[in-house]
């Protein structure tokens, strides 16, 4: 799933933390990074602080209920 214009990174990571299964960020080169990892979250925050927002990111959720959480997040963003 692709998310666009993520600007509230704290709210985004609250959704990540509430997920039951794995949530991975897919890089432009196809690498998959575990978003539940603190190190990966710091890398994502560095991107936000350098640009002010994340225009697009691709996520892979392994639990269907987790996909629903991100869809609700984007509807309320």
Residue ranges, the chain, pLDDT below 50: none
pLDDT for res 69: 95
- Confidence (pLDDT) at 50: 64
pLDDT for 48: 57
- Exposure class string for 21-47: b at 16+ Cβ within 10 A, else e: eebbbeeeeeeeeebeeeebbeebeee
pLDDT for the residue numbered 15: 94
Q: How far is the C-alpha of 75 from the C-alpha of 28, rounded, in Å?
A: 25
**pLDDT value, residue 60:** 94
- The pLDDT value given to residue 6: 81
Beta strands in 1-77 (DSSP E): 2-6, 23-26, 32-34, 54-61
């Amino acid at each position: 799933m692709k998310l666009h214009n993520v600007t509230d990174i704290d709210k985004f990571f609250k959704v990540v933390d509430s997920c039951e299964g794995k949530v991975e960020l897919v890089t432009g080169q196809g690498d998959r990074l575990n978003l539940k990892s603190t190190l990966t979250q710091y890398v994502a925050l560095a991107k936000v602080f350098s640009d002010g927002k994340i225009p697009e990111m691709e996520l892979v959720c392994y639990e269907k209920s987790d996909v629903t959480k991100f869809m609700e997040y984007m509807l309320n963003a």
